[in-house]
Amino acid sequence: MYSVTVRDHVMVAHSFRGQVFGPAQRLHGATYVVDVELARPDLDADGIVVDIGRASEALHAVLAGFNYCNLDELPAFAGRNTTTEFLARVVFDRLVEAIARGDLGPGATGVEWIRVTLHESHVAAAAFEGRVGAKT
């Protein structure tokens, strides 16, 4: 299996509901440094997994959808705890959609598996990974 990984980041405010979150029930915030790994069993005719420039742009566009936002006020996340693991899944789903739309180029349809990791500090991270086809 071959893969490429691109990195970007996003800065948001949010709060959580549930005693398990302790002081994080208050409105606070986070920088998420986001790694996206895209994998496929074979390289395309150019010798790549995917156009890394377009992959970076697609990730940037996905993150722009909620960068510098208070997630508590975004309709897309209403009624949900926007935990790091939840957001990893959001990024995964939106990248799968971007691939389906052709945003990463026609060759990106060969991508079979994606892992999205959000680093929220030097001591904590969360991730979601899955097969691209399995999503539908």
Contact footprint for its own copies (CB under 8 A) = 1-9, 11-14, 16, 18, 20-24, 26-33, 37, 43, 46-49, 51-53, 56, 67-70, 80-86, 88-89, 105, 107, 120-130
In angstroms, give the least distance from the CB of 129 to its own copies.
Answer: 5
d(CA 90, CA 85): 9
Taking the complex as a whole, how short is the minimal distance between the CB of residue 15 and its own copies, in angstroms? 8
Read off the DSSP letter of residue 101.
Answer: H
Q: How far is the CB of 120 from its own copies (least distance, A)?
A: 6
Given the complex with its own copies, which of 61 and 126 has the nearer CB atom? 126
Q: Which long-range contacts (CB under 8 A, 24 or more apart) does 125-132 make?
A: 125/84, 126/83, 126/84, 126/85, 126/87, 126/88, 127/85, 127/88, 128/85, 128/88, 128/89, 128/91, 128/92, 129/37, 129/92, 130/92, 132/96, 132/99
Q: How far is the CB of 70 from its own copies (least distance, A)?
A: 5
Judged by CB, which is closer to its own copies: 2, or 61?
2
